Amino acid sequence: MKAAVFIEPGKIEVKDLPKPELEKPNQAIVRVLRACVCGSDLWWYRGISNKKANSQTGHEAIGIVDQVGDEVTDIKVGDFVIVPFTQGCGHCAACLTGFDGDCLNHVRADNAYQAEYLRYENANWGLVKIPGQPSDYSDEMLNSLLTLSDVMATGFHAAVTAEVKEGDTVVVMGDGAVGLCGVLSAHLLGAKRIIAMSRHADRQEVAKEFGATDIVEVRGDEAVKAVMDLTDGAGADAVLECVGTEQSVDTAVKVGRPGAVVGRVGIPQNPEMNTTNLFQRNIGLRGGIAAVTNHDKDILLQAVLDKKINPGKVFTKRFSLDDIEQGYVAMDKREAIKSLVIVSGK
């Protein structure tokens, strides 16, 4: 099978590798239809974090179930599925309480979704079945379904952990695909005012389409002042932190009103954090790895099927699997918000 392989920073190649095989009774093999490039993939692509040479890449996909292990009874061969990156078991304390991103039975999964086939742990519960078959859906709908494997669920996780509710004023830190999905999530949950922090015109347009009411282009202390001016000095009811940098987290804490909650899903880029500002203003800090399967099953899949949300608009360029390196380049150069990868079919 064809699969994308990391060679070294700045270099991805498509190689012919053996098709994965079932190794445990709780696994499934999925034939990938669509995959994509994640902003977190750029960490090792840019050499910021380490990744083993000649290892496969990717953790977002939709596809058709090709094989199932003996313990997989709720998912059948031929099912059309969302393939969450979390691979939760569904029966541990974390999964049962809505945090499958922290599954206690999680086995370190292969990040190998940018390929013609992938192997999935805990398939019986972790995979999310989509009604019907791919041919039943438009290209636009397929893209939105793909976002439910990570990016939309992660933006939604930020909103849920920040406790966004009807009528709230929300600030969203970050205008990448996750931040934009955070805007969409806040809108879905009924936020009345959504302030998007963005310095890029193309992303601002998507943010507005997703429900942003205000755009703040500045950063740091200027950004804090801008939000306070917009909120008459009160600050936001909830803040979604979708970047992970020290500056972004610091700003997120400062723009919340006393008692606000920051929902943090930006991957931490600094292991240290000054928590004094949290204490002094009674700001709550939550968030972490998204509960993809739980969020999809609870609300997001139906929201996409009902056309309440169209998160697939974060894909602004598409590539074949053979040309996947260009998808990385496009995101690295900010020429694409998120790169779609067509693996099989149209």
Chain segment 172-191, per-residue pLDDT in tens: 999 999 999 999 999 999 99
| Mean pLDDT estimate for the chain | 95
Residues 6+ apart with CB under 8 A from 299: 156, 188
- What CATH code would you report for 2-150+293-342? 3.90.180.10
pLDDT tens track for 221-262: 999 999 999 999 999 999 999 998 889 999 999 999 999 999
Instruction: Please state the separation of Cα 34 from the chain's center in Å.
Output: 15
Q: Which residue shows structure tokens 């990938």? A: 32
Distances 21 to 30, 39, 43, 64, 66 between C-alpha atoms, Å: 10, 29, 29, 15, 11
Is pLDDT above 70 for 317?
yes
Q: Which CATH architecture has domain 152-287?
A: 3-Layer(aba) Sandwich (3.40)
The confidence band for 107, taking pLDDT boundaries of 50, 70 and 90, is confident
In one letter, which amino acid is 85? Answer: F
The reported pLDDT for the residue numbered 108 is 64
> Per-residue confidence at 346, pLDDT binned at 50, 70, 90?
low
The answer to whether 310 and 300 have CB atoms below 8 angstroms apart is no
Q: Which of 103-117, 119-133, 171-185, 200-214 has the lowest mean pLDDT?
A: 103-117
d(CA 193, CA 116) in angstroms, rounded, equals 42
| Cβ-contact 249, 277 below 8 angstroms | no
Tell me 311's DSSP state.
Answer: G
What Å distances lie between residue 109 and 56, 96, 106, 116, 122, CA to CA?
Answer: 11, 20, 8, 17, 10
* Structure tokens belonging to residue 240: 């979604």
Cα–Cα distance list, 92 to 67, 95, 109, 172, 299 (Å) = 25, 5, 17, 32, 21
Per-residue model confidence (pLDDT) at position 274: 78
User: Is the pLDDT confidence value at 106 over 90?
Assistant: no
pLDDT of residue 257: 96
Output the CA torsion 29→31→33→36 (10° steps). Answer: 40
The pLDDT of residue 4 is above 70: yes
Please state the φ and ψ torsions of residue 284, each to the nearest 5 degrees. Answer: -95, 150
Q: Would you say the pTM of this structure is higher than 0.85?
A: yes
Query: Residue 47: its pLDDT value, please?
Result: 87
Which DSSP state fits 115? B
The C-alpha atoms of residue 98 and residue 127 are separated, in whole angstroms, by 15
Each domain of the chain, given as residue ranges in start order, spans 2-150+293-342, 152-287
Q: Based on the number of CB atoms within 10 Å of its own CB, is 253 exposed (0-12), middle (13-18) or buried (19 or more)? A: buried
**Per-residue pLDDT tens over the stretch 48-86:** 888 889 999 999 999 999 999 999 999 999 999 999 999
Looking at residue 109, its pLDDT comes to 61
Do 220 and 203 meet the contact criterion of CB atoms below 8 Å apart? Answer: no
Percentage of residues of the chain with pLDDT beyond 90:
89
The pLDDT score that the predictor gives to residue 111 is 80
